[in-house]
Amino acid sequence: MIILRRAAAGTAAWLAALALVGGLPATAHADSTDSTAQPPPKVELILDASGSMRTPDIGGMSRISAAQHALDEVVDALPDQAQVGLRTLGATYPGNDKAAGCKDTQLTVPIGPLNRVEIKTDVATLRPVGWTPIGLALRDAANDLGVDSSSRHIVLVTDGQDDCAPPDPCDVARALAAEGTHLTVDTLGLTEDDKVRRQLTCIAQATGGTYTEVRTEGQLSTRLTQLVQSGTTQTAAPPAPTTGTASCATAPVLTPGVWTDRQNPQEEHWYRVAVPAGSELRASASIAIDRTVEQHYDITMRATTADGRELARGAGADSGRNDVVSTGLRALAPAADPAASSAAASSDSAAPSSDAATPDPTASPSADGSTGSTGSTGSTADSGMLCLSVANALSVPTAGAANQPGFPVELSIDVVPGASAAGGGAQWLGSGWALVGLLALIGLLSGLVFGWLARWRVAVWRVQ
């Protein structure tokens, strides 16, 4: 039995060591983002003080009272270095003039270092009297937060639907998101009304935020604290904006990292990525469904060479129940052809020196195979470049949400050494079938050893 245990332990050790060697990644990528270089995050609270906030249906107290108590707890829990501001809507005009009431939004506490006394005083003295200009308040709050590289956060607490449109709050939220200024809006609804729920959900989805329906003071306090604290927490640098084009020839060059773009329905955007020969491109794309669309939509991503040869394709689809559709791919850059390079060099050296015969080094072949001004041999400027396309099959109903601004797209790009280029004595262990074959061989040998030991043990028992 001791021999059997030792054999089993030895086999387990072999398998564990092999798994460690084969499972280790070929390369490690460190996050080079320097979060300390980012300006501090900013949060602005928008508190609804319209007339409907007097309704006493939050655990026996009015909606405005529940919001005031919750904000007291939130302010006490915030870190001293938080950058927080407060804006109200419907708090000053009690009349029936809609034009005047729909301008009723004020920045009572400007964005800056946390001033607990000022925020608490302003919140405690609010008396709900007015209208509900949510769209205007969102637009003004975005201006309050300014435009820089910091993360910007709005938390909207309201019980009603905007009764002042235009501007429509959903359109405002989409426009703010399309500006690429890293603004997120979270919404808290103090009512069970379906129209209010749809509008607040639309605002949150358009900016990558969340919607929460709260019906008790405890729920409001807990969720509000979570949102404001997360908004004041320093995060890594947000995705960088880019704009894809209709062909690879004019596409922007993306470096490894996270990028954001916008796409209209039924649109395809092209990008370029520098991928050395033998290295692997790893890319993914997600499109957020931030408005009403027809069911059955999808996204397709393709990686091609500069002359249009497809290397990899990824696709994702949904029946209409999810608000995000994603896909990804991995493409190995082909090795350079020495013969073609030599021929191109000979052709270049033999070409006349006239301007008409000189290729444009800034142009590149498009993904459909056309070469434009680069000539039949292509341009050396495209050496090591792969083309990446993202296309969607989204349809917006004719009577419903608008096409503009486009749907938000997030791209993740990485370039890693390919299996053939990574090298290393143990690299072959993780190359797929070689690893499977080695494991099978170890299993076979282990089985033979265990079988021999079992037969030896039976023979010993018979002798005894």
Interval 8-57: pLDDT, tens:
444 444 433 333 333 333 333 334 344 445 678 899 999 999 999 999 99
List, for residues 314-350, the tens digit of each pLDDT value.
999 888 777 889 999 999 999 866 555 554 445 444 4
Find how far residue 308's CA is from the centre of its chain.
28
The pLDDT of residue 338 is: 57
Q: Which tokens in the block code for residue 194? A: 């379906």
* 87 vs 9 pLDDT, higher one: 87
Contacts of 168 (CB under 8 A, 6+ apart): 135, 162
- The structure tokens listed for 455 are 């037969």
How high is the pLDDT of residue 79?
85
* DSSP state string for 390-440: EEE-----SSSS-SPSPEEEEEEEEEEE-HHHH--TTGGGGSSHHHHHHHH
How confident is the model over 216-235, as pLDDT tens digits? 989 999 999 898 888 877 66
In terms of Cα–Cα distance, which of 159, 167, 162 is closest to 133?
162
